Structure 1
Amino acid sequence: MTETTVDAHEQLAQYVRFWNTGVEREQRACAEAAFTDGVEYRAQIGILTGAQALIDFRDQFAAHMGTVTFRLREQPQVHHGRARLRWEILTGDDADTSFATGTDVLHLDEDGRISSVSVFLDRAPEGFDPEAHD
């Protein structure tokens, strides 16, 4: 791996930590390390802009679902300022129930911070209606 790829993998580890922490101070630290100021997050549920919008989304999801774990299904692929992460969301106190799987495509700026995320569902949650979201 090149030095740039190693740095990107460190940034991607911050991204995973961001989704897995519910402690506000830790979330903000992970967000600051991982995201650019105007990070854009595009998913079927809508388009979110800025780290605060992502923090709010993560917290609302966890409040609704309870214990949530975001884990990678394989090693991320990184090249030319882009990364692909294949993930799974697990729920339950023992993180033993698979909620959904997906793939995130991230754009990294020249400093390696994430400037945008495009989310694709590989296996949507049971009962998910993609037409219910703009």
Structure 2
Amino acid sequence: MTDAMTETTRTAPPTGEAADAFAQMERYTRFWNTGPDDERARLASAVFTDEVEYRAPVGFLRGAAALADFRDQFVSHAGPATVRRREEPEVHHGRARLRWEILTGDGTSFATGTDVIEFDEDGRIRAISAFLDRAPAGFDPTAHD
């Protein structure tokens, strides 16, 4: 997955908690778009708590290493892909909603979804609930735990 994000317009730049959360959302997107190298490890330690929990239709994962492995398995199966934001994240009270799209290497839309993200008191991500807004072609939700 490579780094790409949508260009959107905000009426005013975020401040305080929202600014911190927006910065984390930038790093979070970069994490999903970075291959197995030192940059991804640095991003993971800055973005996630040690025991981050990820819940999605494909299953439950715990820890940044499990998320990185999930990303690598996806790319090895589907080929090059990019996660991009569909719009600016919404942030309030230690949570964010991030709407995303996965594009394949040729720019075709693979799937869209929404992540509901929970931050810890230090601003790192402690939990992610991922929802598919538009599942990939042929996706069988009963085939996963």
Per the normalisation by structure 2, the TM-score is 0.89
Partner residue, 2:75: 62
- State percent identity of aligned pairs: 65
| Residue 82 (structure 1) aligned with residue 87 (structure 2) | no
Counterpart code for 2:114: T
Partner residue, 2:5: none
Partner residue, 2:21: 8
Structure 1 residue ranges, 4+ long, deviating more than 4 angstroms after superposition: none
For residue 23 of structure 1, report the CA deviation from its aligned partner: 3.8
The CA distance in 1 between the partners of 2:37 and 2:59, in whole Å, is 23
The CA distance in 1 between the partners of 2:122 and 2:55, in whole Å, is 21
Paired residue for 1:46, among 42, 55, 59?
Answer: 59
For residue 104 of structure 1, report the CA deviation from its aligned partner: 0.2
Q: Deviations over 1:1-55 (max 9, x none)?
A: 3311101111111100000011421111111111000000000111000011001
Counterpart code for 1:108: F
Paired residue for 2:140, among 116, 122, 129?
Answer: 129
Count of aligned residue pairs for this structure pair: 132
Gaps (5+ residues) in structure 2?
Answer: 1-13
Paired residue for 1:29, among 18, 42, 46?
Answer: 42
Partner residue, 1:110: 121
The CA distance in 1 between the partners of 2:108 and 2:30, in whole Å, is 20
The CA distance in 2 between the partners of 1:23 and 1:60, in whole Å, is 11
Q: Deviations over 1:80-112 (max 9, x none)?
A: 0000000000002x4x10000000000001111
Specify which structure has the higher proportion of helix.
Answer: 1
| Residue 17 (structure 1) aligned with residue 30 (structure 2) | yes
Give the secondary-structure state (helix, strand or coil) at the position aligned to 1:103. Answer: strand
CA RMSD of aligned residues (A): 0.8
Paired residue for 1:120, among 102, 117, 131?
Answer: 131
Give the secondary-structure state (helix, strand or coil) at the position aligned to 2:21. Answer: helix
